[in-house]
Structure 1
Amino acid sequence: MNNHSKIVVIGSGAVGSTFAYTVLLKGLANELVIIDKNRDKAEGDALDLNHGLLLAQPMKIYAGDYPDCKNADIIVITAGAAQRPGETRLDLLQRNVSIFQEIFSEVMKYNQEAIFLIAANPVDILTYVSIKLSNLPKERIIGSGTLLDSARFRYLISEKMNIDPRSVHGMIIGEHGDSEVPVWSLLNIAGINQEKADAASRCYLSTEDKEKIYQQTKNAAYQIIEKKGATYYAIALSLARICEAVLGDQKSILPVSAYLSNYKGIDDVVLGIPSVVGRNGIEEVLDIPLSEKEEKLLKQSADQLKRFIAQITLPSEK
């Protein structure tokens, strides 16, 4: 980590404020700036967090405005229209694109060197939009991708097998949403490839088990939104994990939203793919081996997002 690290979070709603709290608990930065259109909310969050400094890590925390983005190492964008009960992530598209146009027109005046981390939904499309709006190197615009989906996936598998989720090695790739792809072919527990596990093994999953776990993973956000209105704890932890990888130059492999160019025949779209994440952002998108079915589903996921991207009118296209 640098001698002085600075994180800016734009958007102090449920996700942004929970992320800010996570930054404090983990001591991720020396300086944390909270920006929100509702200045009182940002100031209230900053004040509340400052009252906990004695019990956490030394850090400068304050409500700011776009000029405070200057010299930030990471700018995290959680601002956006909230997902409504019964609304798909893709339904949010046009409402959030206009919000991002406003944000980037301001941020770029003060900082063009930071790593940008996108968390608003639909995250893959908004990461793509951010690349186009900022005109920055693609590797410096990262979306939260399928890191949260993969965490949910591993948790559900661990519950079925009654083991620690940290001992489950598996991932979801593609869209953070309805067309996400479970990579069953690479799932392993302690090096045991699940697809080769004996039916009597603790690591065995039946076809029915797999389908149930996939559906629960895919629909987890809808379930939480229906019950309490929004998801924010696990996504805040996911964002903090990505920030750790960047600030610590950890070269961690994380399934984040990355721009794809000629990736298994997929071009000009952003999807959640395991990538090496370090101080320069996405340092490499890994070409992971997939089954024929998984590769087909990944291409279908890409095609679905590209259809929605085609409906977006960015300022340069007007």
Structure 2
Amino acid sequence: MIKPRKVVLVGDGAVGSSYAYAMMNRGLGEEFPIIDIVKNKVKGDVMDLEDAQVFTEPKHVYFGTYKDCKDADIVVITAGTPQKKGETRLALVSRNMHIVASIVKPVVQSGFKGIFVVSANPVDIITAAVQKLSGWPKNKVIGTGTSLDTTRLQVALGKKLHLNPQSINAYIMGEHGDSEFADLAEASAGNRPLLSMIKEAGISKDELTKLVAKVRNKAYYIINAKGATYYGVAEALTRICQAVLKNENTILPTDAPLNGEYGLKDVYIGSPTVINASGIAKVIQVPLNDQEETLMKKSAATLRKVAKKGMDSLKK
């Protein structure tokens, strides 16, 4: 018999349940255990999700334990405390570092040999922590990175240029947070430089600067309006898992474990990467101008500083 593809979800909050629903709709993974300390929530979601399979594809969804990670292809970690109104992602580090440490240990002890995919915030730092705490090869730990920020940029530019966002090749890079930046110098649409199309459309530099700022701060607007963001990041998670499960060799803007790219090492940071069944097969180094290179290094320095604080908090 063919072994069913197995994906374990740890964390059944708003992001986790939205991700489970997205995976169900795409028919990805035949076995799907869900782990959370709030057992009734999981049991309710399991019953709700299994009703959807008649309209999607058959899937064995059930309340799981860490023992279920042993033969899983992917373990997805969404567990953690969400941002509050006015709170930055980096402010979550010590709270969520302890949560993720309590997850990684039993997953590893189960005998799990697959790939970790992480979306708990601050995702760049939590992804690095998962790698260090697990001892996994860096390519087998993937964070959502700037996947969500990039889609927000594509959507905003698509509206301005009256184009399908999927037709826009432009990335947000660096931290998934306040030090991120848009790599517009290399951006394109229809094989044309995006900046020239923006100029032809009569969009000023000031308008473009404001557009990028709105992209950077979009999460805050959503949190103020509805309390949390979850649909977008759930789809980003699903897209990464699809690339792993189907061995796609797809380029996605995830957390990249740098080893000399951009002159940086020992940091996970948002950059295009090639994703396949091995995890991160390759980091794509985007050509950056002097200003963008400075922003990338500044973002990395911010992440390293906060990461050290987070890892130190585990020793207390």
| TM-score, with length taken from structure 1 | 0.96
CA RMSD of aligned residues (A): 1.5
Which secondary structure does the structure 2 equivalent of 1:184 belong to?
Answer: strand
**1:9-158 alignment to 2 at 5 Å?**
9-158=9-158
Distance in 2, Cα, partners of 1:194 & 1:8? 39
State how 1:165-314 maps to structure 2 within 5 Å.
Answer: 165-197=165-197, 199=199, 201-202=200-201, 205-313=203-311
Q: Secondary structure at the match of 2:81?
A: coil
Report the CA distance between 1:287 and its aligned residue. Answer: 1.6
Give the CA deviation at 1:124: 0.1
- For 2:55 and 2:299, how far apart are their aligned partners in 1? 45
**CA–CA distance in 2 between the matches of 1:96 and 1:258?**
20
> Counterpart amino acid of 1:302?
A
Write the letter of the residue equivalent to 1:67: K
* Equivalent residues of 1:124, 1:257 under 8 A apart: yes
Runs of 4+ in structure 1 off by over 4 angstroms are: 314-318
Q: Offset of 1:169 from its aligned partner? A: 1.0
| Residue identity matched to 1:210 | L
Amino acid at match of 2:168: V
Structure 1 residue 263: deviation in Å? 1.8
Give 1:75 shift. 0.5
* 5+ residue gaps, structure 1: none
Residue 51 of structure 1, CA deviation? 1.6
Structure 2 distance, partners of 1:31, 1:154, is 33
Distance 1:235 1:198 in 2: 27
Query: How far is 1:205 from its partner?
Result: 3.6
Residues 7 and 33 of structure 1 are in contact (CA less than 8 Å); yes or no, is this contact kept in structure 2?
yes
- Write the distance in 2 (CA, Å) between the matches of 1:304 and 1:170: 23
Partner Cα distance (1:241, 1:94) in 2:
28
SS of residue matched to 2:252: strand
- TM (norm. structure 2) is 0.96
- Cα deviation, residue 106, structure 1: 0.9
Which amino acid in structure 2 is aligned with residue 132 of structure 1? Answer: K
Amino acid at match of 2:111: N
Q: Please report how far the alpha carbon of residue 195 of structure 1 lies from its aligned counterpart in structure 2 after TM superposition.
A: 2.7
Give, in whole Å, the separation in 2 of the partners of 1:94 and 1:61.
32
| 3-state SS of paired residue (1:120) | coil
Offset of residue 180 of structure 1:
0.4
SS in 2 for 1:187: strand
Q: One-letter code of the match for 1:72?
A: A
Instruction: Report the secondary structure of 1:170's partner residue.
Output: strand
* 2:265 maps to amino acid: D
Structure 1 residue 198: Cα displacement: 7.7
Q: Is residue 161–residue 198 contact of structure 2 (8 Å, CA) maintained in 1? A: no
CA distance in 2, matches of 1:162, 1:242: 27
Question: Kindly tell me: are residues 150 and 40 of structure 1, through their superposed partners in 2, closer, same or farther at Cα, counting changes over 3 Å?
Answer: same
Between the aligned residues of both structures, percent identity stands at: 40
Amino acid in the other structure paired with 2:125: I
How far residue 206 of structure 1 moved from its aligned partner, in angstroms, is 2.0
Give the Cα separation in 1 of the matches to 2:142 and 2:267: 13
Taking structure 1 as reference, are residues 186 and 205 closer, same or farther at Cα in structure 2, changes over 3 Å only? farther
Contact 1:112 1:136 in 2 (8 A): no
Partner of 1:142, secondary structure, is: strand
Letter in 1 for 2:54: L
Higher alpha-carbon deviation: 138-147 or 189-198: 189-198
